[in-house]
Amino acid sequence: MAFSRRLRALGSLNRLKSSFAAQSAPPPKALRELPEPFNASSISSPSRRLLFAGGLAGSLALGSGVVLCKERKDKAAKKEKEPEVKQLAPGFKEGEKVIAFADVQKHDSIDKGIWVTYRDGVYDITKFVQNHPGGLERILKAAGGQIDPFWAMYAQHNVASVKDILGEYRIGHLSADEYANLPPPFDPYQTDPKRDPELVVQAAKPFNAETPLRVLAEQEYLTPTDKFFVRNHLPVPSGSLIDPSTYALEIVKGEEEDPVKLTLKDLQDETRFKRKKICAIIQCSGNRREDQNSVAQVEGLTWYTGAISCAEWEGVALKDVLDSVGVPSTLGMESELEGEDDQLHLQMEGMDRPKVGEWRDTKGFYGASIPLAWAQDPRRDVLLAFKMNGEPIPADHGAPLRCVVPGVAGARSVKWLSKLIVAEEESQSHWQQNDYKAFCSSITWDTADFSSLPAIQDMPVNSAISWPPAKSLVELTSDGCVEMKGWAWSGGGRGISRVEVSADGHNWTGAELSRPPGQSLTRTWAWTQWQANLPIPEELRKPGKGVKLMVKAADAQYNVQPESIESVWNIRGVLCNGWHRILVTIKPKAVSRTRFEHGYAN
């Protein structure tokens, strides 16, 4: 196979060019069989939107025998409450049929029709399954049952537009008595870890929360672990799955070779692998999405400026691990292979996947990939990390092992890492193929084709104001300035060259920069903290006057932030890096200190 020939060529060239005997192992001859990629553009727009909002192909279809009961308490005893119960689920129509759950259970195949319930609503989704991206096998798990626990797995299902799509398939409802007597639900998030109450929660299930604005303003370089922002797509793995004593990382080089397994003890053995520490940012590509919502509504979690944090990660270099199992290096081989090595990827699989009761989806795991050349480049500093800020990585952040890919969208730093696969193609997971891509502003959900764009990797230059808070009262200094603090960062290892602040968008003041120690401008993975005393124009200094503060940054290659949010707006709400602006009010002298005007930090 072509892939095998390329790996053989790489191995041969490396042996000729290097004296490292460890590189002489025979390369894999073939890849393991991978599922055929799904083309999201091939289905109808409503179905495509539902696919995306579910967060994973197949989420609509899953479920059997359980249903949410949170809102059903005492409803059966009160006949007058029945209309309210029926309206819990989307698509209710006056005069619709009351359908027995036993009748729903009979409709569990294409021949009989596929019926499901959501809360008390009954839906015939037979026509929808023809376009179901997860395939018939998955959707049959929902046939004749309830989808509630699986919809609960994805916060995106709470979006009104998604419920409207489901409502189109409504054919009736369960009686109040039958709905009240259904068994209690399985909560796929019941084993999730406890979290710090100061985190700014944007979604409870799956749990997603920002670093508090106070912490962003007060910290230097490292974010305290308990205040580090959390981005989860699925329930947090628990129990034996993340037990350090039984954990093993599987590395797949080809179907004709047995996979290599390395335990956590193997990876921590300093006689085999040299320990390495890096101070690096993890940032969700949707950070600052709320700024895009101010232009027009986008899909995704309502992130403000706190979907970014910095930690010291400790582990072993991914390059060293790949070398140890005989994966040939792709570095420096572009001319010999005519660029074909760019087509090689390192796929990563996490242990987080949909689950209900004892059932776990074997195909719905979180997955991502990066170019294999990046994984093998020592200057990229890709790490298999087992410590975070000096302690074992906690469950929310990927215990016991996380692949940290500095300078790249956080989606590629796979948590709860279970498998590495050398492959000819990118990961075929939903999150690599049908998410985390930035369309131009004219593209709508009707015209979006995720297959037309590459997955987000290196992140653009960005900055934000952490102090003062938005919508706060601020006191001017004796010389008419506002004290400001914030962060700036750029992906790809590009350090920050300058940060400027302004109150009118015309007159700019340079900020004082605190760059991360020990990191060069061409290999910077941590953020730069900045502070400034911004002179406020005389005409804006009146007490009670609203002032718009703004910040912009340039990186070491002089990439700059665009002025407008409109210029970077996209339906997914990713890569928002227009100038960050906040509105504050000049404090009357009678007020003694700065205070928040709202109940949330960001």
Dist. CA 306–CA 286, nearest whole Å? 10
Task: Enumerate residues 6+ apart whose C-beta is below 8 A from 431.
Answer: 233, 366, 367, 368, 411
User: In Å, how far are 70, 142, 179, 320, 466 from 146, measured between CA atoms?
Assistant: 15, 6, 11, 47, 44
List the catalytic residue out of 6, 118, 284, 515: 284
The closest of 436, 414, 462, 407 to 281, measured between CA atoms, is 407
Is residue 210 helix, strand or coil?
strand
Phi then psi for residue 140, to 5 deg, are -70, -20
Dihedral angle sign, alpha carbons of residues 62, 64, 69, 75: positive
Q: SS in 3 state form for 425-462?
A: CCCCCHHHHCCCCCCCCCCCCCCCCHHHCCCCCECCCE
Catalytic-role residue among 157, 173, 397, 494: 157
Q: Please pick, among 436, 498, 572, 576, the residue that the annotation labels catalytic.
A: 436
233 is catalytic: no
436 classed as catalytic:
yes
Spatial distance between the Cα atoms of 354 and 275, rounded to a whole number of angstroms: 34
* HSE-CB for 485 with a 13 A CA cutoff: 14
Strand ranges for 376-515 from DSSP E: 383-388, 391-392, 402-404, 417-423, 462-467, 473-474, 481-489, 496-502, 508-510, 512-514
- DSSP secondary-structure letter at 551? E
Calculated CA dihedral for residues 350, 284, 445, 172, nearest 10 degrees:
60
How far is it, in rounded angstroms, from Cα 499 to Cα 497? 7
Strands (E) located in 160-307: 170-173, 200-203, 208-210, 230-231, 248-252, 260-263, 275-283
Q: What is the rounded CA–CA span in Å between residue 527 and residue 222?
A: 9
Query: Under a CB-based contact definition with an 8 Å cutoff, are residues 228 and 311 in contact?
Result: yes
Question: C-alpha distances in angstroms, 338 versus 28, 69, 373, 414, 424?
Answer: 20, 60, 14, 30, 15
403 is catalytic: no
Q: Spot the catalytic one: 72, 173, 231, 380.
A: 231
Query: Which one from 72, 132, 233, 397 is the annotated catalytic residue?
Result: 132
Catalytic sites, residue numbers: 132, 157, 231, 284, 436
